[in-house]
Structure 1
Amino acid sequence: MADQRKRVAENFPGDFFVDSTCIDCDACRQIAPAVFGEAAQTSYVKNQPQNNSDRLRALHALVSCPTGSIGCLGDDDVKSVMNDFPLLIEEPVYYCGYNSPKSYGGNSYFIRRAAGNWLVDSPKFIAPLVKRLENLGGVSHIFLTHSDDVADAERFAAHFGSQRIIHREELSSQPGAEMILDGDGPWDLSPDLTAIATPGHTEGHCVLLFQQRFLFTGDHLDWDRDGQQLSASHDYCWHSWGEQILSMQRLLEYDFEWILPGHGQKVLLPAAEMRAQLTRLIAAMKERTQ
C-alpha cells in the first residue's frame, strides 16, 4: 500500500498519488496516460482523473503497480477492479496486469485459444488473476521471451500444468522448463504461433509472433511515446548491440501490426507502416554504432 507520507513532490493534489517507492517501470503511464507522467526518477500524478473512464484506468494502474507505489484516498472499490484482469487488447489477446517486481514491472500477456491458452512472460501469481485465468480455461503454455521477465512462471506452470518455453541460453532462469528452444530458429510452435530468435538484449532472447498480427517483443522492441516511433534500448542492451541490429533486420521477414513489449509502450500500426518504422529504426541503430 502506498504511503501518503512518502508522496513524491510532483504529484498534482487530489485522491491519487505516487510515493517514493516507485521504480519508474512505466506501467502506470501505459495504462492511464492521462493521469500519470514521468518525473526525474519516478512516475507521478500529473492530472487527477477527470471522468469515470480515467478513474477506472487509474485504478487499473494502482492494481498493476509492481511495488504498490500508487495510492488512492477516495472510497473506490479497489477489490472489484482487481477482477477486471486480464484486460482485453484485441481479441483474442489480453494484458494480464499485476506486473511483477521480479521482472522490474514487465508486462505479460494472455492469448485465448481453442487449442489451449498461452501466457507470454509472467505476471504476479495472485489469487484474483489466477481465478480469472481458471475461468478462461487455464494456461497450456507459457512463452518466456528471456530471463529478465520470468517472474512467477514456475508457480503458474505448477498450478496449471503448463509447458514453459524458453531458449537454452536463458535456461538458467527456468531450469525446469518443459520446452527448450535450441539454435537460431525460427520455430513453428503451432500453425498460428512462431518463435523468432532475437539475441541482443540477452543472448537467448526470442519474440513470439501470433497470427502474423501480434508480435510479443519482450525487451527487444517497443514504441517511443514521445518520439512516436519504434524504439530499441542501447542503454539496456546486456549482450550485444550488433546482434540486436541483426535480430531487428530478421523481423523484416515477417508481417505484423501489433507491438506488445515487456517494457515500454504497445502500438498498433498498419503492416506497411510498421515495416517502414522498423526500417527507420534499423538505420538509426546502425548509426548508434558509428
Structure 2
Amino acid sequence: MDQRNTRTPKPPRLLLDGLFAFPPNRETLGGTAYFIVEKPGNILLDCPIWDEETQQFLKEQGGVKSLLLTHRGAITPSVKSLQAALGSEILIQEQEAYLLPDVPLTPFEQEITLISNLTAIWTPGHSPGSCCAYWQRHEGVLFTGRHLLPSTQGEPTPLRLAKTFHWFRQLDSVALLRDRFSSDTLNYICPGANTGFLRGKGLINDAYHKLKALDLLSLRQHPISL
C-alpha cells in the first residue's frame, strides 16, 4: 500500500486568536493560505488544499464570506469549486482578474475593504496585481503573499526571482508599506510562502522594525534568485 495516500492531512494551525494557517499547498508551489474568523464574515487569503477536510473545516467555522487572491501564483483550479461550495465572493487586483475569465469576481484598483478591519492593498512588483492584506487586530497583521517572504534567517524580505514582474516596482511597494505603518500599527507579518524558514513560529513578529530595517537601496542591485 502506498503510505503517501494513507497519511492524515494536517489540520489548519491556530496562529493567533481568530487566525489559522493552512498547510503548504503543492498546487501553489508550497503557498500558505490563511483563514480569518470575524463576526462580519470570515475571510480566506489565497487557496488552501481543496479537499473534504478543508471544506468541512471552513463550513464548521461559519463559511467564507470572501476569498482574496494576493497574486496570480495563488490561483488554483479549485477556485470555482470553492466558490460553488461556499458561495464566497472572490476578490483580486484588476490586473490579475483576466486569469479567471469564467469566475464571478470583484476586482479592485488601489485598495478595497473586505470587512471593517481588513483592507487589501495593491503592491505591484512580484506580479502586476500582487496585493497585501492588512488586518487591524493583534496590533496589526500584514498578509504579504509573495510580495515579502522570509529569508533563510526568517526575516521579511522581497525576493528577486526569475519570474518577478518588475523588481523596482516591488521595492517601491515595500517602501509604501514601510511609510504607511508604524511600530504601533504593524506587529506581525504572515507571508504567503517559505514559511518553513520561520522555524515553527508560523509568523514574523516585530514586523515594523524588521520592515524598516530593509536596505531598499542595496536591494535595487540584488541579483536574481533561482
Q: What's the TM-score, normalizing by structure 2?
A: 0.83
Matched, 1:218 2:218: no
- Which amino acid in 2 is paired with 1:223? P
Q: Give the 3-state SS of the residue equivalent to 1:157 in structure 2.
A: helix
Q: RMSD across aligned C-alpha pairs, in angstroms? A: 2.3
Among 70, 82, 99, the alignment partner of 1:145 is 70
* % same residue: 25
Aligned partner of 2:168 in structure 1 is 242
Give CA-to-partner distance per residue, 1:241-272, whole Å, 9 cap, x none.
01101111110112322221221235332255
Aligned partner of 2:209 in structure 1 is 273
Contact 1:257 1:271 in 2 (8 A): yes
Matched, 1:156 2:59: no
**Whole-Å separation in 2 of the counterparts to 1:130 and 1:239:** 33
Q: What's the TM-score, normalizing by structure 1?
A: 0.66
Matched, 1:179 2:115: no
Which of the pair has the greater relative contact order for Cα pairs under 8 Å at 6+ separation?
2
Contact 2:156 2:204 in 1 (8 A): no
**Whole-Å separation in 2 of the counterparts to 1:214 and 1:111:** 11
**Whole-Å separation in 2 of the counterparts to 1:78 and 1:172:** 37
Aligned partner of 2:220 in structure 1 is 286
Aligned partner of 2:15 in structure 1 is 89
Q: Which has the larger radius of gyration?
A: 1
Among 114, 121, 142, the alignment partner of 2:39 is 114
- Which amino acid in 2 is paired with 1:258? Y
Give CA-to-partner distance per residue, 1:183-236, whole Å, 9 cap, x none.
xx133333201111111011111111111611111110022133x432211124
Gaps of 5+ in 1: 4-67, 72-76
**Which 4+ residue blocks in structure 1 deviate beyond 4 angstroms?**
none
Aligned partner of 2:131 in structure 1 is 206
Give CA-to-partner distance per residue, 1:47-72, whole Å, 9 cap, x none.
xxxxxxxxxxxxxxxxxxxxx6xx9x
Q: Give the 3-state SS of the residue equivalent to 2:177 in structure 1.
A: helix
**Whole-Å separation in 2 of the counterparts to 1:270 and 1:209:** 15
Number of residues paired by the alignment?
209
**Whole-Å separation in 2 of the counterparts to 1:237 and 1:92:** 33
Distance 1:267 1:169, change over 3 A: same
Give CA-to-partner distance per residue, 1:139-183, whole Å, 9 cap, x none.
11000001111122221111000000001111122222421112x
- Per-residue deviation, 1:281: 4.1
